[in-house]
Amino acid sequence: MKKTLIVLSIIIIGVVAYEVYAHTMLYPVIKSFGPVYDVPFAVEKPDSTMQYKIVADCGEVKEKSTVKPEEIYSALQQISRMYNLHIYGGVPQKNLQVAVVIWGDPIGIIMTNEAYKKKYGIDNPNIKIISEMKQAGISFYACGQSMMKYGVDPASINPDVTAAVSRFTTVSTLQLKGYAYLKF
């Protein structure tokens, strides 16, 4: 049994070391989230002279919620990664505008820590990632229709998030202003 544990420990240490040293992870702007692999051999890269405008549509309505209150909402990790990938690819930060629209089941992530704790009994794990994304220049909008449907008090909104009339009006307005649409 001891030999098995030792062999398993060596294998695990080897795998972790391989991941750390063989695959360099970078965090170009958002330093705690959205890691990207260093891909020095890439030929296709974003155009560093373009103005990138992206709206991320984040939400869903399901009979049973798939959002886990104790976990960071996975779409935020992916958007952080997308943002970091553009910067890694050579796009200057001043040329990258990203807006995130939260709606449906995930709407609770936009609450302050105090409100989240009152509703779910735990700290809001999304506070830090939203803050870092906001500091990077990403805008956040909360669908007012979803807030009403899911009982989110407007007074409980994280100050890094702006309440909107709806996801539909915000996404369509941004698209008409030239934002590329990405669904998360």
pLDDT for 97-115, tens place per residue?
Answer: 999 999 999 999 999 999 9
The confidence band for 6, taking pLDDT boundaries of 50, 70 and 90, is low
**What is residue 181's predicted lDDT score, i.e. its pLDDT?**
98
**What confidence score (pLDDT) does residue 66 get?**
77
Class of residue 134 by CB neighbours under 10 A (exposed 0-12, middle 13-18, buried 19+): middle
Mean pLDDT across 121-127: 98
| CB 137 within 8 Å of CB 98 | yes
- Cα–Cα distances (Å) from 76 to 9, 20, 30, 49, 144, in that order, read 33, 23, 11, 26, 19
Q: What is this structure's pTM? A: 0.86
Question: Which domains, and CATH codes, for the chain?
Answer: 2-183 (3.40.1260.10)
